[in-house]
A = this chain, B = another copy of it.
Amino acid sequence: MNFDYSDDQKFLKGEARKFLEARCPASVVRGVLNDDAKSYDADLWKAVAEMGWLGAAIPEQFGGLGLGKIELCAIAEELGRVVAPIPFASTVYFMAEAVMLAGTDQHKGFVLPKIASGEWIGCFATSEGPGAVTPSSIKAVVKDGKLTGTKIPVTDGDCANIAVVLANENGKPGLYFVNLGDAGVQRETLKTLDPTRGVAKLTFKDAGAWRLGGEGDGFALMEQVFDRAAVYLAFEQVGGADRSLEMAKAYALERYAFGRVIASYQAIKHKLADMYVKNELARSNAYYGGWALATDAAELPLAASAARVAASDAFWFASKENIQTHGGMGFTWEVDCHLYYRRAKQLGLVAGGAKVWKERLVSQLERRNAA
């Protein structure tokens, strides 16, 4: 039984923490929060690229470090702890995974090195309006290699160089590369619950589009990309949830009410205990997701769903009860609690909300128990 990070992975994780504590203090996050023109922190992005993290799970032949997926999970956990304001998820968990999953050698050779080097920011465009993405929600159309339609919201669509877009061709869904520099692409930056991340509306009018994966495979491929992204996102969420608990604990231990630290009141103690329990369950489910991802196990859809459901719940709970534990200070702009509350929703929605994933989890269970 070896159900934990290896010693090497723990070392990498520790180094990543030191690096991010130095390069990504709250002030960096607030730099993006308070500046509508800024969709991410360019210096941090550059530094992360130099660390090679963008290519951590990309094979060396394509310019990556070829470390493996658990190593990337460890990095994700640390990025989550500091609510890093960079397009890491869109580029690495979505775009790179999509290419590695469904791309031809030519695709890989062309795209992955530019991701690993930080030259390209990627994004993954699936939603077109309120509600879950379903086969019938796809209105974007590809005809004769040209994409026309609208995607909203697209995380990091305002700063990305390239997008993978879900669209119909001949009435069948597919995934398509689009160069966002194309004249047929319009971007509009949008206001969101988490201004520390960039989100855009992308409007395509006869934009050049190259298919990724087979014709008609688009929806299934999207789900497989979401499964992979969900595992990495779960590690970010676990990192954010743990940090929220630490913040709540630290404040409760220094704040006095009625002559006692509030950490000595049972209402606070049990609140923090509840956070701890949810966080541990989320971590354990995330580890299982990581194992399924790294071993490309048949259980991945089930494991990824469980990891995402547990982690989304844990981070949401920890981030809101961290504010509550801070009392009046907790809901001020100056105190950092709300950065985690915002990010909890951002991470909880970016690959689809809890409902979608609970449904995916149960449909997997039905299949398993039927068999």
Identify the A interface with B (CB < 8 A).
265-267, 270
Residues of B within 8 A of A266 (CB): 265-267
- Taken together as a complex, chains A and B put the C-alpha atoms of A270 and B270 apart, in Å, by 11
Residues of B within 8 A of A267 (CB): 266-267, 270
- Taken together as a complex, chains A and B put the C-alpha atoms of A265 and B267 apart, in Å, by 9
The interface residues of chain A, by DSSP majority, are classed as: helix
- Taken together as a complex, chains A and B put the C-alpha atoms of A267 and B266 apart, in Å, by 6
Residues of B within 8 A of A265 (CB): 266
- Taken together as a complex, chains A and B put the C-alpha atoms of A266 and B265 apart, in Å, by 7
For the complex of A and B, list the 5 residue pairs with the smallest distance between their C-beta atoms, beginning with the closest. Answer: A266-B266, A266-B267, A265-B266, A267-B270, A267-B267
How far in angstroms is the closest Cβ of chain B from A224?
Answer: 35
- Taken together as a complex, chains A and B put the C-alpha atoms of A104 and B269 apart, in Å, by 63
With CB as the reference atom, state the residue of chain B lying closest to A270. B267
How far in angstroms is the closest Cβ of chain B from A276?
Answer: 16
With CB as the reference atom, state the residue of chain B lying closest to A265. B266
- Taken together as a complex, chains A and B put the C-alpha atoms of A267 and B267 apart, in Å, by 6
How far in angstroms is the closest Cβ of chain B from A257?
Answer: 12
Residues of B within 8 A of A270 (CB): 267
How far in angstroms is the closest Cβ of chain B from A264?
Answer: 10
Residue pairs across A and B with Cβ atoms less than 8 A apart, 5 shown, are A265-B266, A266-B266, A266-B267, A267-B267, A267-B270
- Taken together as a complex, chains A and B put the C-alpha atoms of A267 and B274 apart, in Å, by 13
With CB as the reference atom, state the residue of chain B lying closest to A268. B266
With CB as the reference atom, state the residue of chain B lying closest to A267. B266
- Taken together as a complex, chains A and B put the C-alpha atoms of A265 and B265 apart, in Å, by 9
- Taken together as a complex, chains A and B put the C-alpha atoms of A265 and B270 apart, in Å, by 12
- Taken together as a complex, chains A and B put the C-alpha atoms of A270 and B274 apart, in Å, by 15
How far in angstroms is the closest Cβ of chain B from A269?
Answer: 9
How far in angstroms is the closest Cβ of chain B from A125?
Answer: 34
How far in angstroms is the closest Cβ of chain B from A35?
Answer: 42
How far in angstroms is the closest Cβ of chain B from A275?
Answer: 16
- Taken together as a complex, chains A and B put the C-alpha atoms of A216 and B270 apart, in Å, by 55
How far in angstroms is the closest Cβ of chain B from A327?
Answer: 16
- Taken together as a complex, chains A and B put the C-alpha atoms of A128 and B267 apart, in Å, by 46
- Taken together as a complex, chains A and B put the C-alpha atoms of A265 and B269 apart, in Å, by 12
How far in angstroms is the closest Cβ of chain B from A358?
Answer: 18
- Taken together as a complex, chains A and B put the C-alpha atoms of A105 and B266 apart, in Å, by 62
How far in angstroms is the closest Cβ of chain B from A277?
Answer: 15
With CB as the reference atom, state the residue of chain B lying closest to A266. B266
How far in angstroms is the closest Cβ of chain B from A213?
Answer: 41
- Taken together as a complex, chains A and B put the C-alpha atoms of A70 and B265 apart, in Å, by 44
How far in angstroms is the closest Cβ of chain B from A258?
Answer: 12
